[in-house]
A = this chain, B = another copy of it.
Amino acid sequence: MTDPHPAASWPIATCLHGIPTSLPDGTALHDAPDGAWARVARRIASTGFDHAELADSHARIGDMDASQRAALRATFAEEGITVASVHVQRRSVIQPEHGAENLAYAHRTIDAAADWGMQVVSTGLHQPFTAEQRRALWFWTAPGATDPDDPDTWDLAVRRLRDLGRHAAELGLLLSLEMYEDTYLGTAASAVRLVEEIDLPNVGLNPDIGNLVRLHRPIEDWRAAYRATLPYANYWHLKNYTRDEGDGVVTSSPTSMELGIIDYRQVITEAVEGGYRGILLMEQYGGDSLGVCATNREYVRGILSQVVSELERDAHAEHGSRDG
């Protein structure tokens, strides 16, 4: 097991949910001039982040040429922000009629991420929102696409993700697969089985159990789900929700990591004790996503500080006893 990062410099990144995907004049941020991106970078930096995840909702690096990417990278660097991970979302490689196209796009994104100097390509098997999801206040309260209970489609997922994983490995990148309901990555057991079948050292899970605890339906126990999946984690979206159940009604609401139902003090402690050394990605839906992510970052640093100090104490004790 490698040494943990120092708590003060452990890479903690923000998602971009707090950044509008288009400018006031309607221009998509993907197509926006450098000045608009500089404003985005300053906004992120103003909340104290030095790492961000670039999601393709905001910029599709796989669809940019090298000079565009270099300019974007420089714009972030100018504000002291490292982009070490890219997130390809709702582009499932087994999406009916679009799987092959999405696969090609993912390959392009892997090339782009390597060219950029990133460490992680994150993706998953979730598909574009249904009309009902787009109408909902929170998309997770409406039904989305469901991966079929069909061995051929499962095998196709394994093959195509393994293909992406090999490509990523050749370029020194991690590939991380995000847990998401109703996909082959929708339960701890299925997610573990999928990543074990892919069977590549650089392919792991993004155990985003926050995606599951918000659902308006019976859910897995989050402690058990983390215990099963953390050993496979190589990237991690962290977010939290309140949740109440009773009289047949489930309610949930995004909240800070400290105030939600998942005990992140416990989970992060177990993760780091168990060897997790990856990027920690702060995520929040709704409201002031960027502000809550910044609050969560400080919260996570406090937890890291304690767990890293315990590990150093353990290492010291072990070293001492071996010497003795």
Interface of A toward B, CB cutoff 8 Å: 18, 20, 39, 42-43, 46, 136-138, 141, 216, 240, 242-247, 249-266, 286-292, 295, 299, 302-303, 305-306, 309-310
Report A270 CB to chain B, min CB distance, Å.
Answer: 8
CB-contact partner of A288 in B39, B137, B263, B309, under 8 A: B263
Please, which residues of chain B bring their CB within 8 A of the CB of A260? 287
Whether the Cβ atoms of A245 and B20 lie closer than 8 Å is: no
Of B20, B243, B309, which one neighbours A253 at CB under 8 angstroms? B243
Q: Which residues from B are CB-within-8-Å of A245?
A: 136-138, 141
Secondary structure type dominating chain A contacts: mixed
> What number of copies of this chain does the assembly contain?
3
Other than the given A42-B310, A136-B245, A291-B302, 9 more pairs (CB < 8 A) read A18-B266, A246-B250, A251-B251, A254-B259, A257-B288, A263-B287, A263-B288, A265-B288, A291-B303
Identify 25 residue pairs between A and B in the complex whose beta-carbon atoms are under 8 Å apart, listed by A's number. A18-B265, A20-B266, A39-B310, A43-B306, A46-B305, A136-B245, A137-B243, A138-B246, A216-B246, A242-B242, A242-B255, A243-B253, A244-B252, A244-B253, A246-B251, A255-B255, A255-B259, A256-B258, A258-B288, A258-B291, A258-B292, A259-B292, A263-B287, A264-B288, A265-B291
Other-chain residue from B244, B250, B262, B309 in contact with A287 (beta carbon distance below 8 A): B262
Q: Which of A246, A249, A257, A258 gathers the greatest number of chain B CB atoms within 10 Å?
A: A246
- List residues of chain B with CB within 8 A of the CB of A286: 261, 263
Q: Could you tell me the distance between the alpha carbons of A291 and B258 in the complex, rounded to whole angstroms?
A: 7
- Nearest chain B residue, comparing its CB with the CB of A48: B302
- Chain B residues within 8 Å of A242, by CB: 242, 253-255
A258 — which chain B residues lie within 8 A by C-beta?
A: 256, 287-288, 291-292, 295
Report whether A289 and B306 are in contact in the complex, using a CB–CB cutoff of 8 Å: no
- A259 smallest CB distance to B (angstroms): 6
The 4 closest A-B pairs by CB, nearest first: A242-B253, A141-B246, A46-B306, A265-B288
Closest to A136 in B: B245
